[in-house]
Amino acid sequence: MNLYIEIENGQPKNHPALEENLLQAFGAIPSHWMPFERIEKPQLEIYDVLDQEEPEYQLVDGIYKDVWMVHPMTAEEITAKKVATVAAWNNRFPSWVFNESECVFEPPTFYPQDDKSYYWDESIINWVEVNNA
């Protein structure tokens, strides 16, 4: 699936179009349309911020592409995220420990890696198999 984007006054105009649609409409790719490459939305690291929900269309190495603007959180934003995560946790399981690098609470023993289902029992500080009987 080849995409093209219309260029007007050196800037992308509207949204990319399928090559097949342009060929049907114009019989050829018009000279003011440039190749376009769709780039998937990035997976953010735990302390990254996506500046906007839609990408910008930019010329990169001679091809217009989706460009996603991502920046690392400031120290203040990181602190606020940690505080909010701890507050939302509300000490549900006191034995669990806050992992600052991942900004999550983790159990003292990891979830069993088998095909069974478990729930956390804080009274014994361990996972208990769900009885599906």
Phi, psi of 19 (to 5 degrees): -55, -45
> Confidence band (pLDDT; 50, 70, 90) for 40?
very high
Q: Are residues 47 and 87 in the same domain?
A: no
Q: Are residues 31 and 80 in the same domain?
A: no
Q: Are residues 62 and 80 in the same domain?
A: no
Q: What's the predicted TM-score (pTM) here?
A: 0.70
Return the percentage of the chain with pLDDT > 90, whole number.
Answer: 95
> Confidence band (pLDDT; 50, 70, 90) for 132?
low
> Confidence band (pLDDT; 50, 70, 90) for 131?
confident
Cβ 95 vs Cβ 106: under 8 Å: no
Q: Which domain holds residue 110?
A: 75-129
What's the structural domain count of the chain?
A: 2
Cβ 95 vs Cβ 122: under 8 Å: yes
Q: Are residues 24 and 65 in the same domain?
A: yes
Q: Are residues 94 and 65 in the same domain?
A: no
Q: Are residues 57 and 112 in the same domain?
A: no
Q: Are residues 100 and 68 in the same domain?
A: no
104-130 mean pLDDT: 95
Q: Cβ–Cβ contacts within 10 Å for residue 19, how many?
A: 16
pLDDT over 70 at 92, yes or no: yes
Q: Are residues 83 and 67 in the same domain?
A: no
